[in-house]
Homo-oligomer: A and B are copies of this chain.
C-alpha cells in the first residue's frame, strides 16, 4: 500500500513481531492500531483505567481492539486520582471549554489543566512491562506534537529519552539495545492522521476523543480535544462522523 512507504522505519524486524500499543479509544491510537496491522506486527493493545472522567473512551477502546483485530487487549487499573492535580482526573477542577476562561488559572501556565501528571510516562512504563514479559521489543505510542495541547510528554525529545531509559531498564534492552518506542504520527497534522486512517480503513465514528464524553460516548464538541478533532476533519476535507451531544451547540 502506497501510504505505508513513509512508515518504512516503523516496520517490524520480523513479520509478526509482537508490539504493545497504548490504546486510549481516541482517534490517534485507533489509527496506530490500523497502521501496526498494516505493517505486519502482532498488536497487543493496552488501556489503562487511570481515573479519567471520560471512561467512555475505554468502551471505545474495547470496540476498536475487536474491530481492528488486536491479538489481545488488556485494561489495567491504576488510580492516578489519588495523586490529584489534573482536570481529567480531579473532579474539583473543571475541564475548560471553548470560549470559557480556564477556571483555575493558577494551575495553567503554559501547560493546560487537562494535563495528568506524568501520565504518559506511567502508561509507557506499563507498556514496557508487558512488552518485556511478551519478549517483544516494540512499543507504539500515539503522541502528537503538532495539533496537540502542549503537554511536555508528547514531544519527540521525550519519546527519545524514554526509549534510551527503556534500553537500560530491561533485560532485552541491556543485551541488545534493541527496544524501540515508535511515535509514527508525532509530526503529523490531525488532518494527515485522519487521511492515513481513512486510507487504512479506520471508521472514526467508533473512536472517542472528547475529554468529557457522556456514557453513550457522545462528544461535548467544545473541549480542547473536540476542537482539535473537528479542525482535523475540516482541514482533511472529510465528513466528521463524530456523534455530538444534543446540547453541545456543535
- Interfacial residues, chain A to chain B (CB-CB below 8 A): 74, 76-80, 82-86, 109, 111, 115-122, 124-126, 128-134, 152-153, 155, 157-158, 161-162, 164-166, 168-171, 173-174
Q: Which among B78, B80, B109, B173 is the interface contact of A171 at CB below 8 angstroms?
A: B109
* Docked-complex contact A169 and B165, CB < 8 angstroms: no
Closest to A135 in B: B85
In chain B, what residue has the closest Cβ to A130? Answer: B83
By secondary structure, the A interface counts as helix
Whether the Cβ atoms of B133 and A129 lie closer than 8 Å is no
A164 touches which of B80, B122, B164, B169 (Cβ 8 Å) = B164
Indicate whether A161 sits within 8 Å of B152 (C-beta atoms), given known contacts A84-B133, A118-B129.
no
A193 to chain B, nearest CB (A): 23
Partner of A132, one of B118, B132, B161: B118
Known A-B contacts: A153-B170, A155-B168, A157-B168. Give 5 more (CB < 8 A): A77-B77, A118-B166, A121-B166, A152-B170, A152-B174
A78 in contact with B76 (CB, 8 Å): yes
Kindly identify which residue among B109, B117, B162 contacts A165, using a CB–CB cutoff of 8 Å.
Answer: B162
- Closest 3 CB pairs between A and B? A85-B133, A117-B132, A118-B129
Using Cβ atoms and an 8 Å threshold, which residues of chain B touch A129? Answer: 80, 83, 116-119, 121-122
In the bound complex, residues from chain B placing their C-beta under 8 Å from that of A115 are 171
Chain A to chain B contacts (Cβ below 8 Å), 17 pairs: A76-B79, A83-B129, A85-B133, A86-B133, A117-B130, A117-B133, A118-B131, A118-B169, A120-B169, A121-B128, A121-B166, A121-B169, A153-B168, A158-B169, A162-B165, A162-B169, A164-B164
